[in-house]
Amino acid sequence: MRTQETSDKHCRLNEKGLEKLNKALEKIFSCKPVNITDTGIENKTGVDREAVAKIRACDKPLTRSSLEKLFDPLHRILVEEHGIEYPGKLNIEKMQLEEKDYERITIRKSASKASNLDQTKNNSQLGSLETALFELNYKSQFDPFTNWVAKNNQIGAFLIQGEEKRGKQWLVNRLVKQKFREHYQTDKLIPILVPPPQENQDNHIDKFWKELGKKLELQSQPTAENCVKKAFKRWQSGSLIMAFYADNIYQDIHKIIDDFWKPLVEQTPFYIEEEGIESYLLMFLIDSRDRISQSGIEMVDSDNQTNWHPQKLMALPKIDNFGQSSDEILLSWCKTHRNLLKCPENLSRVTVVTQQIWDNSKGVPESTFEAIGKIVVHPSFSWSQFEKDLQYKL
């Protein structure tokens, strides 16, 4: 039997509360809230940046006291540094957290301790599964990207290519999360997902500029030139990492490169060399139809980076299956993670489980992940649902 409970201990900012918070930040930092990092707020208020991130995200249950820990120092700063008023209709005297600024959250609690323990165990399994899957192949894509990062490059565009169910979104998020973990936790990531075409028609470039303009919070006409200006300004205030899902815009990819990426990159050398900006500017083009590599766009092979230039697109190797048989790639991973797979210290059992995973996936990455999840977590495990729960940044 399950019961529902609501309490002041479980709440989050509502639309009005977030508006109040953003107006205070805009006044204190003299810029739009979207350009203000959680680390910057931590430095200003002393509130831990992870706590700040949770409050700003408005997607997790928090205590009222945790909200007040951010509102109170902001109120103090506004009083001390800016007098008694700030832009908008809100008066500074109302900066303190009020009932109308947050909403209570319904928390479902199990009447059974065993159920709570099961949920804790399940969450632990999911976390362990994600960490373990980070070690499962994509070596041909991961190694050249790692080599590029090791050369202290800050600006780069990359082609992610592979057929359906090859885990392209997983790979992009894995690359950024593992190599730019600090940036992955900020609000500097801008995923651009061009909507799927209607009646099998591909999208026009103008629709892409419109979508990009929305993500950049562009107030002016969504043209390539205006997107470049806004993206450059965003990069100056912190790392900007973009992912463009290009399946339905492939015929205009050259315009994204020539009219957006190249003009954007042309402006960066001075600020890197003279101003000492250390921010990263990365772009990932994700292609599921193997069209971009056939488009005639100048690209650099990631295995030979001698001719690479920040303006050029670097093509990471096409994502393939995890080998041609169960013992080519999968067996070694299963041996390493035999405890996660609930295998005893018996090699023959590990081999059986490996073959079971292979038979259910044939090495197709996403099918392999799902087959592993059914063993590690539960027979009803769904890879697509697991990806949603991961809350990808890109």
Query: How is the chain split into domains, by residue range?
Result: 2-107, 124-129+322-390, 139-315
**Lowest-confidence segment of 54-68, 91-105, 210-224, 287-301 by average pLDDT:** 91-105
The residue type of 68 is: E
| Mean pLDDT (whole number) for 5-17 | 69
User: What pTM was estimated for this model as a whole?
Assistant: 0.68
Predicted local distance difference test score (pLDDT) of residue 83: 66
N residues, the chain = 394
Which tokens is 228 given?
Answer: 């470049």
Over the stretch 90-135, which tens digit does the pLDDT of each residue have?
A: 455 567 788 888 888 765 544 444 444 444 455 677 788 999 999 9
183 has pLDDT over 50 = yes
Predicted local distance difference test score (pLDDT) of residue 313: 94
Q: How far apart are CA 105 and CA 62, in angstroms?
A: 9
153 has pLDDT over 50 = yes
Using an 8 Å Cβ cutoff, are 362 and 325 in contact?
no
Query: What is the third-level CATH fold of 139-315?
Result: Rossmann fold (3.40.50)
Which tokens is 380 given?
Answer: 């009803």
| Mean pLDDT (whole number) for 179-202 | 67
**Lowest-confidence segment of 91-105, 165-179, 348-362 by average pLDDT:** 91-105
Kindly indicate the confidence band of residue 351, based on its pLDDT and cuts at 50, 70 and 90: very high
Using an 8 Å Cβ cutoff, are 326 and 355 in contact?
yes
| Mean pLDDT (whole number) for 339-354 | 86
User: Mean pLDDT, the chain, as a whole number?
Assistant: 83
**Parallel/antiparallel/unpaired status of strands 2-13 and 281-287:** unpaired
Q: How far apart are CA 209 and CA 1, in angstroms?
A: 51
Using an 8 Å Cβ cutoff, are 340 and 129 in contact?
yes
Q: How far apart are CA 357 and CA 349, in angstroms?
A: 13
Kindly indicate the confidence band of residue 188, based on its pLDDT and cuts at 50, 70 and 90: low
Kindly indicate the confidence band of residue 309, based on its pLDDT and cuts at 50, 70 and 90: very high
Helices H / strands E in the chain, number of each: 17, 8
